[in-house]
Chains A and B, each alone.
Chain A
């Protein structure tokens, strides 16, 4: 530890940082390229212990690469990761990470229970095998051979593997990709039950609904950058709006923008497109003020569009 005479407070900040680094995950300036593709660009992120954080973004946003760098599976071109004051390799070695990678199958010639028992043996302080099977829902087919499982069942077993570590940090990379609607709900409830033990959970998803329902905080990623970061309600306000499309000849864009609940308005010929924060109010106004409006179509603005918009703003300002 060094003491900078020109800055008497440097000593203080150094020691206070050392104290707090043990209760958080810090990624600073993470950058990773694959050839010409810049997968993650100078990403800074700080996660407090005990929170559930969603990395939300479309495919190719850099979520998986970011997660791989948290694990130490991918080495950043520059920048560093600290997991509760340790390097990723140290944290992995200490059994502090329970993980479910994006894709993957199970090894053969074992029953589900045998596989979970085998994995539990690797960790210093594992969860009880029965408990991991219970939480993940894999107890329903614990005696079955791993190669005889459906896609959804395999995901549950992979979840049980992540759980049995009883790790400080649980990382789930698009864990519900292979699940149906019901399976998804069960999965997230199980995840929540585990997080309630004071665990830190980071999960990647491209569904806003999932991030909204199950995370304390949403980090929105696009093109390798964080484009928004905040509580689910804040993120929803940014990207969760609706889109109204209709045919309405000869109308001033300014009069459309003046309607209630409209954030942006656009027109191509007779076709208008309105981005709305409150589409119900907008629709009422539209029908009252423009009786000639027809072909009305209301739909949730896709995340992809929202991302595109955010990214384009981003590119414009840099």
Chain B
């Protein structure tokens, strides 16, 4: 029960962070409406363009949400707050769990906003499609949550903004969130090893069934594992240096 109270205030803090809301909710929404809005009735590769673009923006927005949530550890480290927490009975894992939870809350909000905007300009999906997409997105976000926690221990506060902006943009572009990818050749083989490709694919399952094969699960699992090992390393290095 007590940890729930703690969690409640962490969520409250997240929702009050305006910058956070702007980057993970407003930016993808504005981009979506600006790009997809004027092309409501366009179809590419036999798919409605607004639907195609919505899935891309969802991948980007949710990625920003979970990475930013973990990365705010950098701010809390900078003001000595994590040190303060380490002299309390709160287990480190609960602290991280709360941060991941907050990232997911933001990601869900980001999805909700884009779903609403998508419906508004004519995106129609059935319940199973919505739920499949949401479920796979939540899975695809796991490695990015861990990445956020790693950044939170790795980066200084002033380099945090550019780093998050750069990394999320790069992952989004390479994963095909902004523009359709050329789906053949050597580069495409590499792209398919990125977790962001699969995050984008999570949305694409609504376009074509079977777009999330075993390969997707494996890539997500490997990235999660490797990033977790790195995050633990970085955390240990950070707490040792006093």
User: Could you list which residues of chain A lie within 8 angstroms of chain B, going by C-beta atoms?
Assistant: 68, 71, 73-74, 92-95, 97, 99, 101, 103-110, 114-115, 117-119, 121-124, 158, 161, 165
Contact = CB atoms under 8 A, between A and B. Distances in A.
Closest 3 CB pairs of A and B: A104-B80, A105-B79, A121-B5
Contacts of B80: 101, 103-105
Interface residues of B, number: 23
- Interface of A (DSSP majority class): loop
B6 interface: yes
B87 A110 contact: no
Contact of A92 (B6, B76, B79, B87): B87
A123 B2 CA distance: 8
Interface of B: 2-3, 5-6, 9-10, 12-14, 16-17, 76, 79-81, 83-84, 86-90, 242
Given A101-B80, A106-B79, A121-B5, A92 B89 contact: yes
Nearest to B14: A109
Contacts, number: 78
B82 to A, nearest CB: 10
- Interface of B (DSSP majority class): helix
A73 B87 contact: yes
Given A121-B3, A121-B9, 18 more contacts: A73-B86, A73-B87, A92-B88, A93-B89, A94-B89, A95-B89, A99-B84, A99-B87, A101-B87, A103-B80, A104-B83, A105-B80, A107-B13, A107-B76, A109-B12, A114-B9, A122-B90, A161-B84
B91 to A, nearest CB: 8
A121 B87 contact: no
A97 B12 contact: no
Contacts of A109: 12-14, 16-17
Contact of A165 (B9, B81, B88): B88
Nearest to A68: B242
Contacts of B3: 121-122
Nearest to A70: B87
Contacts of A123: 2, 88-89
A68 B241 CA distance: 12
A121 B81 contact: no
Contacts of A73: 83, 86-87, 242
A77 B197 CA distance: 48
Contacts of B81: 104-107
B13 A117 contact: no
25 contacts: A71-B87, A92-B88, A94-B89, A95-B89, A99-B87, A101-B83, A101-B87, A103-B80, A104-B84, A105-B79, A105-B80, A106-B81, A107-B81, A110-B13, A114-B9, A115-B9, A118-B9, A121-B5, A121-B6, A122-B3, A122-B6, A122-B90, A123-B88, A123-B89, A124-B89
